[in-house]
Structure 1
Amino acid sequence: MGTWDVGPFDNDHAADFTGDLDDTPAPERPALIRQALEAAMREESLDGHVGDIAVAAAAIVASQCPDGEPCDPVYGPEKPLSPLPADLRPLAVQALDRVTGPGSELADLWADAGSLAEWRAGVDRLRAVLSSEG
């Protein structure tokens, strides 16, 4: 896995996902984001690559929320997204909870790299934006 920083788009899996998102016809993009979020909750033991993609998908959803940060201009989606369905917000929160919870390889990898606190702080910021009522 190529990872260069702790941000939601700072790894090869997320970059591949956003490339796939750009290649997907606009009406089908929300479904692709939904699939990425749901995939994180289907696995008993969450693989790191599934977690990477779920975090990127959650960041895309958060980018459309009040106080959400724009997606990474280099590795995030290049094509603009239409407004996403509101029901993706709680789904994104659930996916982030799964990615940071027990049985997540991604959390273990960040712990092994000595950057768990920094990575977790970024995920927690996404979660706060997604959970806000604003």
Structure 2
Amino acid sequence: MGSWDIGPFDNDTAADFAGDLDEAALEEREAMIRGVLKRAAGPPDFLGIDDGERAVGAAALVVAQHSDCDPPCSNYGPSESLPELPADLRMLAVDALDQVVSNRSELAELWAEAANWSKWRQDITRLRDVLDPPIPPQEDALFEI
């Protein structure tokens, strides 16, 4: 794994994906992001490390367009602008991130062996929570039956 840190683009594969996005025409970038997310979110087969690393980067790009969030992308993310990404990519990104941390993910297996596994996992959870915020626990019921 060519990783130097836990960020979404802090590995060779995701940094290369960012470079590919920069080289693509603006109108092709959404389809590239969608394709990466679909591959990762697809049928529950084994998710290879490269597809997992690209999916984390693609999900971070979807998160970056969320209005209440600081961009999670490092210096290794795309430097060219992205088109406005459609809302349906949010749930596709959630599904992809769920696969990335599943027991069918080579990336999760490799990170599980790393000293900073819990920090990586927290960052993935943070991305997911921006895309699909957890439902807060219910207070007492307004009406009792």
* TM-score past 0.5 threshold: yes
Which of these two proteins has the greater Rg computed from alpha carbons? 2
Change (3 A) 1:28 1:47: same
Aligned to 1:11: 11
**Distance in 1 between the 2:80 and 2:72 partners?**
11
Q: Does 1:117 align with 2:115?
A: no
Q: Does 1:51 align with 2:52?
A: yes
Uncovered stretches (5+) of structure 2, i.e. residues with no partner:
135-145
Aligned to 1:33: 33
**Distance in 1 between the 2:33 and 2:113 partners?**
28
8 Å CA contact 1:37–1:91 kept in 2: the answer is yes
Q: Does 1:69 align with 2:70?
A: yes
**Distance in 1 between the 2:83 and 2:133 partners?**
21
8 Å CA contact 1:46–1:105 kept in 2: the answer is yes
Aligned to 2:140: none
Superposed CA RMSD: 1.5
Deviation, 1:71, is: 4.6
How many positions carry a matched residue from both structures? Answer: 133
**Distance in 2 between the 1:3 and 1:130 partners?**
24
Deviation, 1:9, is: 0.8
Uncovered stretches (5+) of structure 1, i.e. residues with no partner:
none
User: Secondary structure at 1:36's aligned position in 2?
Assistant: helix
Q: Which moved more, 1:56-65 or 1:78-87?
A: 78-87
Please identify runs of 4+ aligned residues in structure 1 that moved more than 3 A: none
Q: Does 1:23 align with 2:3?
A: no
8 Å CA contact 1:3–1:10 kept in 2: the answer is yes
8 Å CA contact 2:10–2:74 kept in 1: the answer is no
Aligned to 1:2: 2
Give the TM-score of the pair, scaled to structure 1.
Answer: 0.93
User: Secondary structure at 1:66's aligned position in 2?
Assistant: coil
